[in-house]
């Protein structure tokens, strides 16, 4: 029976700055790289085909990098527990190496099952921290110092050599899952996965397009080129946060970039901060972070409005343009994401839990820790942040003043001029006809009256935030999740 080590790849699809891979390759036994397309995740509502396409493209890129070492990633489509049971019968497994995963509840449950299986088989499972996230941390007393220490530590460089891996010929008998062609094909509008493109995207940001980052970050159209666009590569681990951070520091004195770099580095820090919050209190996948919102008075008759929000058919131009853009590209900038959540939870008064999986399935860069922490913050149920009710009309006027973004994604409004474009329900019948807008158009009859819905939301939110139970739990949250001065 051949003795091997296994590196279990999850959301760390790269060969650089990979501590588990580095340690595994330092062992005397050959290493097998493993990725699992798990049926439970393929069926999970958080995910959609766009995610698996990105993963498949990433694996294809890894295999091209591994070819000179006569190996590749073993790809299987099966449950993790069943996979490791079979592998333990076929090989003498010296150790399993992986990064700690800050995932959703079903992946946490899966990890506990695999841990028990490996322990019973006397196989050590060596897990390394993902970035600067501290497993089960209960406060932030030293967190900022730890983050700096991790981000400035030397890059973990695996010693790649053919004799350190299980060979391609040896892997033929393991029946690797054939990646579907539709997952490997590039899809117009979507970013393509893989470390090669992750680095190319980072370098391109510093070639020129990042100069306007700080000025364009809030604009839904300009942000598509001016923002780093690294988020899906970070979410799926094509590049590490430490690699980006150290590259940014190396460019710190690049002329014309200082404001952009200050803004970018703050967001790199923010990235780990929110994942740490989810790691420390993962119940927020199911419950309000602030327990004082347990009985918050959400609407009960939600289905028609929820469906309109999901499809981008609310009749509010900026809301619908953002949702349609997400459907077709998997990306919108942070401010517009916040606006979508705000509109769902405040204007429509729908419980955030009815929309959280839908947006996860659309975000190509879905990262559970960031997603849930941000969703609750924008929904106003964290209790520690300033509650913002984003006005979609004002967002249009300020960040899409020429209307290009709206008209790009809502062609039925192409003839409507600014500023009428932002509030088409105010058009007279004659104007609607003049601008070729169908009399039955949802944009003439949106699903809500914005000002009235915003007033009702403010009354609910401000009144509820004053409740003693909210104030009490706010103190608990601050002690656990906010660094103390």
SS (H, E, C) 28-82: CCCEEEEEECCHHHHCCCCCCHHHHHHHHHHHHHHHHHHHHHCCCCEEECCCHHH
What does the block give as tokens for 26? 């330092």
What does the block give as tokens for 457? 């939301």
Distance CA 28, CA 102 (A): 30
- Mean pLDDT, residues 220-243: 98
313 and 260, same structural domain?
Answer: no
pLDDT at residue 409 greater than cutoff 90: yes
202 and 323, same structural domain?
Answer: no
The answer to whether position 162 is within a domain reads no
Lowest mean pLDDT across 89-98, 299-308, 365-374, 465-474:
465-474
User: In terms of pTM, does the model score above 0.85?
Assistant: yes
Distance CA 384, CA 345 (A): 17
CATH value at residue 376 = 1.10.579.10
Question: What pLDDT score does 42 carry?
Answer: 98
pLDDT at residue 485 greater than cutoff 60: no
Distance CA 24, CA 139 (A): 32
455 and 325, same structural domain?
Answer: yes
CA dist 210 to 202, 226, 291, 331, 344, Å? 10, 5, 41, 17, 32
246 and 328, same structural domain?
Answer: no
Contact 394, 295 (CB under 8 A): no
Tens of pLDDT along 18-61? 999 999 999 999 999 999 999 999 999 999 999 999 999 999 99
Contact 222, 210 (CB under 8 A): no
Tens of pLDDT along 374-399? 999 999 998 777 788 999 999 999 99
- Mean pLDDT, residues 392-419: 98
The answer to whether position 104 is within a domain reads yes
Q: Which residues are CB-contacts of 365 (< 8 A; sequence separation ≥ 6)?
A: 231, 232, 234, 235, 330, 331
The answer to whether position 112 is within a domain reads yes
Question: What pLDDT score does 484 carry?
Answer: 62
332 and 469, same structural domain?
Answer: yes
Place of tokens 């967002």: 395
Burial 171-192 (b: 16+ CB within 10 A, else e): beebebbebeeebeeebeebbb
What residues make up the domain containing 43?
3-128
Distance CA 272, CA 373 (A): 11
Tens of pLDDT along 240-299? 999 999 999 999 999 999 999 999 999 999 999 999 999 999 999 999 999 999 999 999
- Domain C-terminal end among 209, 244, 279: 279
216 and 301, same structural domain?
Answer: no
Contact 52, 184 (CB under 8 A): no
Please list the residues that pair with 365 across neighbouring strands: none
270 and 244, same structural domain?
Answer: yes
The answer to whether position 175 is within a domain reads no
- Domain C-terminal end among 257, 279, 301: 279
Between the CA atoms of 461, 463, 465 and 469, what dihedral angle is there, to the nearest 10 degrees?
-130
57 vs 301, higher pLDDT: 57
3-state secondary structure of 302: coil
3-state secondary structure of 423: coil
pLDDT at residue 90 greater than cutoff 90: yes
Contact 34, 174 (CB under 8 A): no
Distance CA 76, CA 95 (A): 19
Q: How many domains does the chain have?
A: 3
């Amino acid at each position: 029976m051949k003795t091997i080590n296994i590196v279990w790849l999850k959301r760390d699809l790269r060969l650089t700055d990979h501590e588990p891979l580095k340690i595994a390759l330092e062992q005397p036994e050959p290493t097998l790289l493993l990725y699992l397309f798990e049926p439970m995740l393929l069926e999970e509502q958080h995910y959609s085909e766009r995610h698996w396409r990105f993963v498949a493209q990433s694996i294809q890129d890894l295999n091209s990098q591994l070819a000179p070492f006569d190996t590749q990633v073993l790809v299987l489509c099966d449950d993790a527990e069943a996979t490791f049971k079979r592998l333990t019968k076929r090989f003498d497994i010296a150790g399993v190496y992986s990064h700690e995963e800050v995932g959703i509840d079903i992946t946490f449950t899966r990890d506990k099952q695999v841990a028990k299986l490996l322990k019973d088989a006397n196989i050590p499972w060596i897990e390394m921290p993902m970035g600067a996230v501290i497993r089960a941390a209960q406060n932030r007393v030293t967190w900022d110092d730890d983050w700096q220490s991790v981000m400035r530590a030397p890059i973990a460089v695996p010693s790649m050599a053919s004799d350190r891996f299980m060979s391609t010929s040896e892997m033929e008998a393991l029946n690797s899952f054939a990646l579907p062609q539709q997952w490997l094909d590039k899809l117009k509008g979507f970013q393509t996965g893989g470390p090669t493109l992750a680095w190319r995207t980072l370098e391109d940001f510093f070639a020129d397009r990042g100069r306007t980052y700080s000025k364009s970050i809030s604009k839904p159209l300009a942000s598509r080129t001016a923002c780093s666009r690294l988020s899906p590569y970070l979410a799926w681990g094509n590049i590490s946060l430490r690699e980006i951070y150290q590259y940014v520091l190396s460019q710190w004195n690049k002329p014309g970039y200082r404001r952009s770099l200050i803004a970018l580095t703050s967001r790199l820090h923010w990235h780990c901060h929110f994942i740490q919050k989810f790691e420390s209190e993962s119940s927020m996948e199911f419950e309000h972070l602030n327990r004082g919102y347990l009985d918050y008075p959400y609407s009960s008759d939600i289905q028609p409005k929820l469906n309109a929000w999901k499809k981008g058919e609310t009749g509010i131009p900026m809301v619908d343009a953002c949702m349609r853009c997400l459907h077709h590209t998997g990306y919108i900038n942070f401010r517009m994401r916040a606006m979508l959540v705000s509109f769902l939870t405040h204007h429509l008064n729908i419980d955030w839990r009815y929309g959280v999986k839908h947006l996860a399935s659309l975000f190509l860069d879905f990262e559970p820790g960031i997603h849930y922490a941000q969703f609750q913050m924008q929904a106003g149920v964290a209790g520690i942040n300033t509650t913002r009710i984003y006005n979609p009309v004002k967002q249009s006027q300020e960040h899409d003043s020429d209307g290009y973004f709206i008209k790009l994604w809502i062609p039925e409004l192409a003839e409507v001029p600014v500023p009428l474009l932002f509030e088409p329900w105010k058009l007279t019948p004659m104007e609607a006809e003049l601008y070729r807008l169908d009399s039955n158009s949802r944009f003439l009859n949106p699903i809500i009256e914005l000002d009235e819905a915003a007033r009702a939301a403010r009354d609910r939110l401000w009144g509820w935030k004053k409740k003693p139970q909210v104030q009490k739990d706010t103190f608990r949250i601050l002690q656990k999740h906010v660094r103390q001065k």
